[in-house]
Structure 1
Amino acid sequence: MSVRVTVAEGRVVRDPRGRKCPDGEFSVDEKDFFWARCLRSGDLELVKPKTSGAAVVLPDASNKVATK
């Protein structure tokens, strides 16, 4: 499964081929042993998905009218 990550502040991460990873966001396979180790050690940080501006409104249970 592919996830979006960034390199942690103050760290330099190289991919399995020895190339420096980009400074911005990029995708990795979180099930790959190499990238999983980078995530666990804190070298990479998960990027939280951007949420849309619309908020979900749930009905308020306290406004229900009692019926007989």
Structure 2
Amino acid sequence: MSVRVRVAAGRVVRDPRGRKCPDGEFSVDEKDFFWAGCLRSGDLVRVDAKAPAGTPALAVAADKKAESK
């Protein structure tokens, strides 16, 4: 199964061929042993497709609290 990931902050990840992974989002097979190990160790972070990229969660919570008053 293919999932969208990005390299965790402060980490450098190389693919099985030794090439540096891109800085942005890319797809990997989470069932592949190599990529599964990168996900488990925290070198790669899953990208949630449902969450907007630039909206921090705290700002949304603050807006909802302000609206309820």
Question: Shared topology, TM-score over 0.5?
Answer: yes
Which residue number corresponds to residue 4 of structure 2? 4
Which residue number corresponds to residue 64 of structure 2? none
Which residue number corresponds to residue 38 of structure 1? 38
SS where residue 20 of structure 1 aligns? coil
CA RMSD of aligned residues (A): 1.4
Work out the CA distance in 2 between the residues paired with 1:38 and 1:51.
22
CA deviation after TM superposition for structure 1 residue 39, in Å? 0.0
Identity of aligned residues (%): 83
The residue identity in structure 2 corresponding to 1:16 is P
Work out the CA distance in 2 between the residues paired with 1:8 and 1:28.
14
Query: Which aligned runs of 4 or more in structure 1 are off by greater than 3 angstroms?
Result: none
**1:50 equivalent in alignment to 2:50:** yes
5+ long unaligned stretches in structure 1: 53-68
5+ long unaligned stretches in structure 2: 53-69
Work out the CA distance in 2 between the residues paired with 1:50 and 1:27.
16
CA deviation after TM superposition for structure 1 residue 51, in Å? 5.4
- Structure 1 residues 14-61: Cα deviation after superposition (integer angstroms, max 9, x where no partner): 000000000000000000000000000000000001359xxxxxxxxx
Q: Which has the higher helix share?
A: 2
CA deviation after TM superposition for structure 1 residue 8, in Å? 0.1
